[in-house]
Structure 1
Amino acid sequence: MTTTTTASLRRDWTVAVVLFAFALLAGAGGVALVTAPPIATQWFVPTTIVGIFELRFLQQHLDTNHPVDTEMGVYDTLGLANAVTLTRGAAFAAVAGFAVVEPTPALAWVPALLYGSGCLLDWADGLTARVLGRTTVLGTKLDMAFDTLGFLVAPVVAVLWGRLPVWYLSLSAARYLFKAGRGLRHRQGKPVEKLPPSAVRRPLAGVQMVFITVALAPVLSPKTVETLAIVVLPPSLLVFLRDYLAVAGYLDRQKEHY
């Protein structure tokens, strides 16, 4: 490890850009093969935009590629765990492309398979990091950013494809409102507490991932999906509200977690 971003780490970023470009072209070719070239072009544009955002985010945070418990050194390579996380980001970028594509029988399963695969990789990247002893601040940042992105693009596609009611997008909005509220308190000089660990935060996020995957898949009727959404959405919204109240200092912090 070194104290600054190394040339080898920057090379890894360049490799990530090249691999994403190849995956993008392959994806566009696949969409064109099963539909038509104009549809592939429609898919290509938003996928590229989201991918550029992800790669730029990675570039901006390369200097955080160090263990979570120290800033003494930066790893020379991105590592396997971060590579898995970036693959997840690519899958979510591909999902975003279908927001501007009309649903067809040939494409009906693709968003669900992509998003579901990305969710499985969410479990795999953390496990890989722990097994290899390479849990990094960069990995944490990528994980949180891609989680938030996935909870935005997948529900948007599901709504536009008639698979989810529009009010389910309140889940996507809640994530960004929480971040915006916390950032506003920082800018105003108000106290911002550390977000306490939660016994329900990750399980509820997992429930939402499974639900969104099922909603995207053409297996249940939109009416059935809407009924399920009424059940699974409120608990997650309440957790976001509770998290904001916790960081704003409005909740009793006698407990270290909740």
Structure 2
Amino acid sequence: MSDSPEPILRKLNRELNRLSLFAVAGFLIGFAGLAVAGGWCAAGVWLAQAGAGLWLIRQTARRRLALNRLNPRTPLYRNLGWGNRLTLLRGALIAATGGCLFSDPTAPANPWLPALCYTLAALLDRYDGYAARRSGRVSLLGAELDLHFDALGLLIAPLLAVQWQRLPTGYLLLSLAFYLYRWLLQARVRRGLPTFPLPDNPLRRTLAGFQMGFVALTLWPVLEPAFSRQVSTAFMLPVLFGFVADWLVANGRCTARTYTQIGELADRTALPGLRIGLILALTLAGGFERTEAAGLSVALAWSASILLAVGCAGRLGALAILLLFGGGWLSVAQPALGLAILFAASWLLLLGTGRYSLSRWGEAWLQRYVGA
């Protein structure tokens, strides 16, 4: 006969407490290192803020331990499993990133500490699910924690980047969109109004992954702040549009069929049009201005443009153009055309090259679950 839920929940809670103690030990080591590098006062502020974040992570997990099962009809797993442990590690890394809020970006450990912590958290986002699938411990708990920690990370890391003037304040609209969406759904439920399921859309996960990668990159001192502030708007708009579209489906004002048709229309017309628009903007710009690098950067930019024109590994081509501009290796003389190029390349990176593409290389890798 299987164990009753209560003893297993107590066992899971004890395991969560042990993991929390390991995290506290790691934070104390970090505190000592920061104290040596930048002084006890700054280290104490970091520890207090990171500790508060860790408490929030623990409470979020503790309240959901009853979800540590495959589905509502199956028994509880006897331990958290490696997938959930990695997800909790992601949460601890996000808490460590939050410890740097309101800190001086010129301090000895900044920005390397938050950049490293959030980058590791973003990378682990792809592999905690892999660990769960390989160990046979896929759970409702893992899905819930993954969703909440993604949202928390996309609140804390952008807030830090805004404070360090690497992202505009408007980017926080994206950070708040998830919480607003959840609040609106809960408000409908409290009022007894129906909510409707969202159609499957792999692009949601792809967009979230790109946002985490972009925010992590802005925390490293490698991109020009002016560039990251411009590109942030381009990165933010498709996600905000997605939240609005999802909300219209959830409240019944847009049918799942219409939602799917809009996606097909964008794939058939808007994305190929963006490719044409990007090549046209590059042509009207009359070539590239060389800033730090010479012929190699120009050659890479035109090679990337050819990939986008024919739709072969187009996301890679869009990424190459963004990195060349963001790293300061290339620019164009006309600011308006430069902005158009950045927006078009950003949207093609996020959304893909659409129909009439020679090869959508990389699409399957972006949309698949590692280990599935």
Identity among equivalent pairs (%): 34
Shift of 1:213: 0.9
In structure 2, distance between residues paired with 1:60 and 1:11: 13
Contact 1:79 1:134 in 2 (8 A): yes
Shift of 1:230: 2.1
In structure 2, relative to structure 1, the CA distance for the partners of 1:184 and 1:89 (3 Å cut) is same
Shift of 1:115: 0.7
Greater than 3 Å deviation, 4+ residue runs: 254-258
Report the equivalent of 2:74. 72
Report the equivalent of 2:287. none
Report the equivalent of 2:237. 234
Contact 2:38 2:107 in 1 (8 A): no
Contact 1:2 1:76 in 2 (8 A): no
In structure 2, distance between residues paired with 1:34 and 1:197: 48
In structure 2, relative to structure 1, the CA distance for the partners of 1:14 and 1:226 (3 Å cut) is same
Report the equivalent of 1:91. 93
Contact 2:86 2:128 in 1 (8 A): yes
Report the equivalent of 1:115. 118
In structure 1, distance between residues paired with 2:30 and 2:253: 47
Shift of 1:227: 1.4
**Structure of larger gyration radius:** 2
Contact 1:17 1:55 in 2 (8 A): yes
2:251 aligned with 1:248: yes
Report the equivalent of 1:56. 59
In structure 2, relative to structure 1, the CA distance for the partners of 1:255 and 1:221 (3 Å cut) is same
Q: Which moved more, 1:242-251 or 1:5-14?
A: 5-14
Shift of 1:19: 1.2
In structure 1, distance between residues paired with 2:95 and 2:258: 38
**Deviations 1:140-197 (CA, angstroms, capped at 9, x unpaired):** 1111110110010000000011111111101111111111111111111111112322
In structure 1, distance between residues paired with 2:73 and 2:104: 47
Report the equivalent of 2:218. 215
**Deviations 1:96-129 (CA, angstroms, capped at 9, x unpaired):** 1111211125222221111110011110101111
Gapped runs of 5+ residues in structure 1? none
Contact 1:3 1:74 in 2 (8 A): no
Gapped runs of 5+ residues in structure 2? 264-372
Report the equivalent of 1:4. 5
In structure 2, distance between residues paired with 1:256 and 1:77: 40
In structure 2, distance between residues paired with 1:99 and 1:162: 13
**Deviations 1:33-73 (CA, angstroms, capped at 9, x unpaired):** 221110001111111111111101111111111113x4330
TM-score (norm 2): 0.66
Q: How many residues align?
A: 257
Highest RCO, 1 vs 2 (Cα 8 Å, sep ≥ 6): 1
The CA RMSD over aligned residues, in Å, is 1.6
Contact 2:54 2:92 in 1 (8 A): yes
Contact 1:42 1:100 in 2 (8 A): no
Q: Which moved more, 1:10-19 or 1:202-211?
A: 10-19
In structure 2, distance between residues paired with 1:154 and 1:191: 34
In structure 2, distance between residues paired with 1:211 and 1:228: 9
Shift of 1:256: 9.3
In structure 1, distance between residues paired with 2:234 and 2:218: 13
Report the equivalent of 2:83. 81
The amino acid across from 1:17 in the alignment is S
